[in-house]
């Protein structure tokens, strides 16, 4: 009887986290966000036949490529790379909110300007606003609380924000969170340019990209969703121009009249654009993540419990939240990253800023990462999208970002030291 009870208790561990794991699996299946590694072969009777077939196929493809060479066409998958390489991007268009089309503008110029308008529906009302910034000043105007916040900009915050828009925000806005399953449906012309049209359909929603094959960047993007009368209803349209001068209606830093004015100069510790995920008070935040030329990710993060009366204040407490408690994986969830703890710095509100170097377990190139937290009452996960910079700037940035959280008298690790550390893991 004792053995029976013991066995039942021991087997309970296999039901732990069952619901969370089930959701995780079904989400992956629905999103198609797993490696297309193919089903495992249960029989391996004819390996030579498979090898022969593969070599025949390869030679067939090679000769086809040789004899029927076509001009290189930029695909939708290349759009993020093309946008990240632009010096400036202008987006004009509209978005439909509750049957009303609101104008949308975005202009970003590397090292010079960032201008974004915003529209948001809150309960029954729709609020608009805009944000304009250069490397020295910023102005944030909100119709929701009728405020205009302005002040000195932090140059590092500006640079990270501009790169965030060019490398992450804009590609996701134009291509969508899932950039796959686009099908070329036709060709057209727009303003005298030849255009390839790509469509993506998902759950009744449709995204149409008018791609300029000469630049590899969309010239127009349209969104559609099912309407009430079973007809498709267009919900957004954006026109995109790249490498253009600032538009004439680019707002100045002059304070608009009729708004409550707030002055706030951005300090050094506001340099990071913080991304958060959390539940039940447990909050995980990414402060900064840089792609070290595909070899590793330099990550700064913090984790705290908002329900706790006492938040960690010392280095001793920080060890409770070490990176070994987290699970870092490649974006497809299959392979892990080695998490090398670099330093724990005392940070704002008594939290600890943890610096971690992530190195892919199998020596593959770094692109995106997924962090998950296994907890007693479930799990959370977050995608990590590290920013890329050219090597010269990256070497400076690696030091600059560490100095944001670093107490006086400490020395930051330079790019070479971090790469050497990553190299040791890659060579295993």
CB of 289 to another protein, least distance (A): 18
CB of 273 to another protein, least distance (A): 28
Using CB under 8 A, which of the segments 89-97, 287-295, 320-328, 380-388 binds another protein? 320-328
Binds another protein by CB under 8 A, chosen from 82, 101, 110, 374: 374
Q: Which stretch binds another protein (CB under 8 A): 1-9, 92-100, 174-182, 397-405?
A: 1-9
| 3 state DSSP class of 213 | coil
8 binds another protein (CB under 8 A): yes
Binding mask 329-368 for another protein (x = CB under 8 A): ----xx-x-xxxx-------------------x-------
β-pairing, 337-346 vs 352-360, is antiparallel
Written as six digits, the tokens of 419 are: 């790469």
Q: Which phi and psi angles does 334 have, rounded to 5°?
A: -85, -55
Nearer to another protein, 7 or 100 (CB): 7
Taking alpha carbons only, the member of 267, 249, 6 closest to residue 130 is 249
Mark 14-53 with x for binding to another protein (rule: CB under 8 A) and - for no binding: xxxxx--xx-xxx-xxx---x-xxxxx-x-----------
Closest CA to 339 of 307, 384, 281: 384
* H-helix segments, 44-187: 47-67, 79-84, 155-164, 170-175
Shortest distance, position 40 Cβ to another protein, whole Å: 5
Q: Does 309 bind another protein (CB under 8 A)?
A: no
Neighbours of 125 (CB within 10 A): 10
Q: Which is nearer to another protein, 221 or 339 (CB)?
A: 339
Q: Cβ(269)–Cβ(400) under 8 Å?
A: no
Name which position in 123, 257, 307, 324 contacts another protein (CB under 8 A).
Answer: 324
Are 406 and 344 a contacting pair, CB within 8 Å? no
- Order of strands, edge to edge, in the sheet holding 217-226? 183-190, 193-202, 205-212, 217-226, 232-242, 88-97, 100-109, 113-122, 125-133, 137-142, 147-152, 260-263
For residues 21 and 73, which CB has a smaller minimum distance to another protein in the complex? 21
3-state DSSP assignment of residue 19:
helix
- Comparison of 24 and 305: residue with beta carbon closer to another protein: 24
Radius of gyration of the chain (CA): 25
Q: Which C-beta is closer to another protein: that of 26 or that of 60? A: 26
Residue with token string 């913090």: 302
Stretch that binds another protein, among 111-119, 173-181, 228-236, 319-327 (CB under 8 A): 319-327
**Is the torsion defined by CA of 384, 390, 391, 395 positive or negative?**
negative
User: Residue 279 Cβ, how far from another protein at the closest point, in Å?
Assistant: 20
- Does position 380 interact with another protein (CB under 8 A)? The reply is no
SS (H, E, C) 353-373: EEEEEEEECCCCCCCCEEEEE
226 binds another protein (CB under 8 A): no
User: Is residue 376 a contact residue for another protein (CB under 8 A)?
Assistant: no
Q: Which residues bind another protein (CB under 8 A)?
A: 3, 6-11, 13-18, 21-22, 24-26, 28-30, 34, 36-40, 42, 322-324, 333-334, 336, 338-341, 361, 374, 421, 424-425, 428
């Amino acid at each position: 009887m004792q053995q029976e009870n013991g066995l039942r208790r021991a087997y309970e561990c296999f039901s732990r986290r069952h619901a969370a794991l089930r959701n995780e699996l079904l989400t992956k299946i629905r999103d198609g966000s797993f490696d297309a590694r193919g089903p495992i072969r249960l029989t391996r009777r004819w390996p030579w036949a498979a090898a022969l077939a593969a070599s025949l196929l390869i030679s067939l493809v090679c000769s086809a490529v040789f004899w029927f060479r076509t001009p290189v066409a930029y695909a939708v998958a290349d759009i993020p790379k093309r946008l990240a390489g632009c010096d400036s991007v202008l987006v004009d268009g509209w978005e439909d909110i509750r049957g009303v089309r609101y104008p949308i503008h975005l202009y970003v110029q590397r090292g010079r300007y960032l201008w974004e308008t915003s529209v948001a529906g809150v309960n029954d009302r729709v609020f608009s606003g805009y944000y304009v910034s250069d490397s020295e000043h910023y102005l944030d105007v909100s119709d929701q609380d009728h405020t205009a916040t302005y002040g000195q900009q932090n140059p590092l915050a500006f640079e990270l924000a501009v790169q965030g828009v060019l490398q992450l925000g804009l590609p996701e806005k134009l291509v969508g969170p899932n950039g796959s399953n686009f099908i070329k449906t036709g060709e057209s012309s727009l303003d005298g340019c030849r255009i390839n049209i790509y469509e993506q359909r998902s759950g009744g929603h449709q995204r149409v990209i008018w791609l300029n094959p000469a630049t590899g960047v969309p010239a127009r993007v349209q969104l559609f969703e099912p309407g009430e009368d079973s007809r498709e209803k267009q919900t957004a349209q954006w026109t995109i121009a790249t490498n253009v001068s600032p538009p004439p209606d680019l707002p100045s830093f002059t304070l608009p009249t009729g708004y409550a004015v707030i002055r706030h100069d951005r300090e050094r510790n506001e340099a990071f654009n913080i991304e958060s995920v959390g539940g039940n008070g447990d909050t995980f935040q990414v402060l900064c993540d840089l792609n070290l030329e595909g070899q590793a990710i330099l990550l700064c993060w913090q984790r705290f419990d908002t329900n706790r009366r006492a938040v960690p204040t010392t280095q001793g407490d920080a060890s409770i939240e070490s990176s070994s408690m987290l699970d870092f994986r490649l974006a497809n969830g299959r392979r892990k990253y080695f998490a090398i703890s670099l330093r724990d710095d005392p940070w704002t509100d008594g939290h600890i800023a943890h610096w971690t170097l992530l190195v892919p377990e199998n020596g593959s190139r770094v692109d995106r990462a997924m962090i998950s937290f296994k907890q007693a009452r479930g799990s959370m996960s977050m995608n990590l999208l590290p920013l890329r910079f050219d090597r010269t700037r990256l070497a400076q940035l690696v030091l600059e970002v560490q100095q944001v959280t670093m107490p006086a008298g400490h020395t930051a690790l330079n790019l070479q030291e971090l790469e050497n550390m990553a190299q040791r893991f890659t060579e295993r």
